[in-house]
Amino acid sequence: MTGVLDGIRVLDYGRFIAAPWCSALLADMGADVLRVEKREGGEDRWVQSVTEGGEGGTFLQCNRNKRSLTLNSVTPEGAEITRRLVQRSDVVIANMPLAGMQASGLDYPTLRDIKTDIILASATAFGEGGPYSDRIGFDGAGQVMSGAVYRQGLPDLPIRTVVPQADFGTALTMTIGVMMALFHRAQTGEGQHVEAALLPTALMLSNAFLIERHLLGTDKPRMGNRGASVAPCDLYRVTDGWVLLQVAGQPMFRRWCRLIGRADLVDDPRFADDDSRWAHGDFLNDLMQEWCEGKTKAEVLAALDAAKLPAAPLHSTQDVLDDPHVQAMGYLKPVAFPGASRDVPIIETPFRMSRTPGTIRRRAPLLGEHTDEVLSEIGYSAAETADLRDRGVV
């Protein structure tokens, strides 16, 4: 099947999540993505090791459908290899500070001198042009500086989410930017620099909190798993686990009142709208918890589903792997990887297209697995490649 990005070549200098997941999505859609990393391997390759060789779970997810070239790009020979790779590429993706980009010849002016219509997509922690631009930062920096963590957690303990939402969100926004840049280039022949950063991505996710603060001058307190603006909304304990319920709007509230046998609450002025229900959320959430007492997860979910109320079970990681809907939809594709004890469940392309779907065509690459192949493609003989390897260039 032809991919929508067949024929597009991408150089991926990304590490960890923001840049690698962006290039992985492009690879899913057919782009030829080449991961360029240090001879000893990028740091992200070995985080959260799950294989005999030491590759980590996030690496396996974020680097499927790619080839791997090892390269010391700061040597003269490495710079020449970089130049040849850029000459035949459409997109360069990286997430490193500007100084590192310049040292590796990956800054936009340098790339544009090599290939005038090149598209550079770069991700940083805070964005270029401000007082924090030279700082480094991971996902957590975006979370805690966006106002989100200030609003989430327990009353005396702010808690950041273990899910790297700023990282993956930045990957998604950068992917959109790359596609827009490719569309623009197809119309005009012009390349451009696409910039993404963790902090503005996190600000996007927490923007409603900032608007509320700016206009009303207030911050709602941290309330654990309870809703930030609606009620009843919480995780409720049942005999065999936990169930999430989120009620928003008057029609849902009416159905919930009937379900728990409290139709008298529908016309109570304390619960006239979402804001007033949130203000009395402790009362409503306590009623829901009382209703759940003695019931199983299946019983609660069946009743909530029959009442057309949005609810879901709290899944363990094993529950996710065993979930019949996840399995039926094929959201996690089993992919073999050398040194893994069994096939690796890799998330499929997280959107589906009816005519040009994304596909996982190959596993994540071993370190330098395609170095000889790629160098041959850009004009190096086997003897020249062997010499480059002996001298520590590749």
Structure tokens at 292: 């759940």
Structure tokens at 59: 């690496």
The verdict on whether 167 is a catalytic residue reads yes
The DSSP-derived string for 334-351 is EE--TT-SS-EEEEPPSS
CB 42 within 8 A of CB 12: no
CB 152 within 8 A of CB 159: yes
Structure tokens at 118: 């090149």
How far is the first Cα of the chain from the last one, in angstroms, to the nearest whole number? 33
Catalytically annotated residue among 167, 268, 319, 323: 167
| CA–CA dist 20, 45 (Å, integer) | 11
| CA–CA dist 356, 31 (Å, integer) | 13
Judged on CB neighbours under 10 Å (0-12, 13-18, 19+), 306 is exposed
CB 300 within 8 A of CB 244: no
**DSSP label of 43:** G
CA-wise closest residue to 258 among 312, 307, 308: 307
CB 83 within 8 A of CB 55: no
CB 255 within 8 A of CB 308: yes
Residues known to be catalytic: 167
